């Protein structure tokens, strides 16, 4: 028995596309599956969209009022009937053999507890030229994940992202997702799944890469902006610890070097953006955003 879990927050139109893709899934012989969609504090037409697909999918709709993707994931885990649970997002398009690929991996590696597959960004309209040039620098902001020849085993240096990951239920019953991490409404602190996966690896659990379990991540026009990139990397910075050994010079409770990095990187970004050269200013935007997140220890907002 396999459980597919989709947390969603006020993205009814995109969720409809994901559900349509899920109707085309091929299920491996000997496996059954269920779909759990967790409405995370939704106030749009999500419920109506779920009603449209109630007869076309083995669908159960849950509601989690506490905002945060990890509250929604934990709710799915609590309700799941599967031996394994496969997570994806409300803006992805899994390939038709996605479930078959995971089912084969579960059967081939019964001792493994963490699985993941490739994620390819799918731009819903042509991205601006500057973004096409810098995409390798900001690939994580768009969820892109490829094996790049790193083999079948996952590790602390190569692990799945939330849009395409799976777990043996036996570990998630013991190790829940941390609800203080991840997107929460319009803000985010990165690391929603990373923290748990690295904890599992540190405790000796095995992970496997599933190359053929591929999904496309749909990128909307409003995400093809420097504001979106800043939002993502501020969230990354907010999840990072600050190393301040004894004797570190502090300003307002943060190391002075971090303030200098935030200010200098921001100035270089603004000057560089005015001059062009996106391959240069994108690095400064990332540095400034990460530093800002580390200073504030909280995610910024994006809508």
Q: What are the sequence ranges of the domains in the chain?
A: 2-223, 226-296
Q: From CA 168, how far away is CA 110, in angstroms rounded?
A: 9
Taking the mean position of all CA atoms in its chain, how far away is CA 156?
16
Q: State mean pLDDT over 223-232.
A: 96
pLDDT of residue 188: 83
| pLDDT at residue 119 tops 90 | yes
pLDDT of residue 246: 87
CA 298, 140, 194, 94 torsion-angle sign: positive
Q: State mean pLDDT over 269-296.
A: 94
Q: From CA 60, how far away is CA 272, in angstroms rounded?
A: 50
For the whole model, what pTM was predicted?
0.93
Is 194 within 8 Å of 82 (Cβ atoms)?
no
> What CATH number belongs to 2-223?
3.90.550.10
Taking only Cα atoms into account, the Rg of the chain, rounded to an integer number of angstroms, comes to 20
pLDDT of residue 85: 98
Average the pLDDT over each of 60-69, 112-121, 239-248 and give the range with the smallest value.
239-248
* Partners of 49 in beta bridges: none
Nearest 10 degrees: Cα torsion 177, 202, 204, 144: 60
| pLDDT at residue 106 tops 80 | yes
pLDDT of residue 175: 95
Binned at pLDDT 50, 70 and 90, residue 245 comes out as confident
Binned at pLDDT 50, 70 and 90, residue 273 comes out as very high
Tell me which of 252 and 59 has the higher pLDDT: 59
| pLDDT at residue 262 tops 80 | yes
Tell me which of 20 and 30 has the higher pLDDT: 20
Closest CA to 180 of 169, 196, 168: 196
| pLDDT at residue 302 tops 70 | no
Tell me which of 301 and 122 has the higher pLDDT: 122
Residue whose tokens read 């620098």: 137
| pLDDT at residue 285 tops 70 | yes
pLDDT in tens, 142-172: 999 999 877 799 999 999 999 999 999 999 9
Binned at pLDDT 50, 70 and 90, residue 303 comes out as low
Average the pLDDT over each of 128-132, 159-163, 294-298 and give the range with the smallest value.
294-298
Is 34 within 8 Å of 58 (Cβ atoms)?
yes
* CB neighbour class for 213 (10 Å; exposed up to 12, middle 13-18, buried from 19): buried
| pLDDT at residue 232 tops 70 | yes
| pLDDT at residue 244 tops 90 | no
Q: From CA 56, how far away is CA 201, in angstroms rounded?
A: 37
Q: From CA 248, how far away is CA 251, in angstroms rounded?
A: 10
Q: From CA 69, how far away is CA 162, in angstroms rounded?
A: 10
């Amino acid at each position: 028995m396999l459980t597919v879990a989709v947390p969603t927050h006020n993205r009814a139109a995109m969720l409809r596309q994901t559900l349509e893709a899920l109707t085309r899934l091929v299920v491996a012989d000997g496996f059954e599956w269920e779909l759990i969609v967790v409405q995370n504090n939704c106030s749009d037409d999500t419920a109506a969209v779920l009603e449209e697909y109630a007869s076309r999918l083995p669908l159960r709709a849950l509601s989690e009022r506490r905002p945060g993707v990890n509250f929604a994931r934990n709710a799915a885990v609590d309700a799941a009937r599967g031996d394994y649970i496969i997570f994806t997002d409300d803006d992805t398009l899994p390939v038709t053999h996605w479930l078959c690929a995971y089912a084969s991996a579960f059967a081939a590696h019964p001792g493994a507890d963490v699985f993941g597959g490739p994620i390819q960004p799918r731009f819903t309209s042509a991205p601006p030229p500057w973004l096409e040039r810098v995409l390798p620098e900001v690939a994580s902001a768009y969820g892109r994940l490829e094996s790049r020849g790193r083999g079948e085993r996952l590790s602390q240096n190569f692990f799945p992202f939330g849009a395409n990951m799976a777990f043996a239920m036996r570990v998630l019953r013991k190790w829940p997702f941390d609800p203080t991490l991840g997107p929460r409404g319009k803000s985010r602190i990165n690391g929603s799944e990373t923290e748990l996966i690295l904890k599992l690896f540190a405790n000796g659990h095995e992970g496997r890469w599933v190359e053929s379990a591929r999904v496309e991540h749909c990128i909307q026009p409003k995400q093809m902006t420097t504001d979106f990139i800043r939002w993502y990397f501020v969230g990354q910075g907010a999840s990072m610890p600050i190393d301040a050994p004894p004797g570190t010079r502090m300003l307002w409770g943060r190391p002075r070097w971090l303030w200098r990095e935030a200010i200098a990187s921001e100035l270089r970004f603004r000057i560089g953006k005015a001059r062009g050269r996106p391959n240069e200013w994108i690095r400064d935007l990332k540095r400034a955003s990460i530093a800002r997140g580390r200073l504030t220890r909280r995610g910024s907002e994006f809508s």
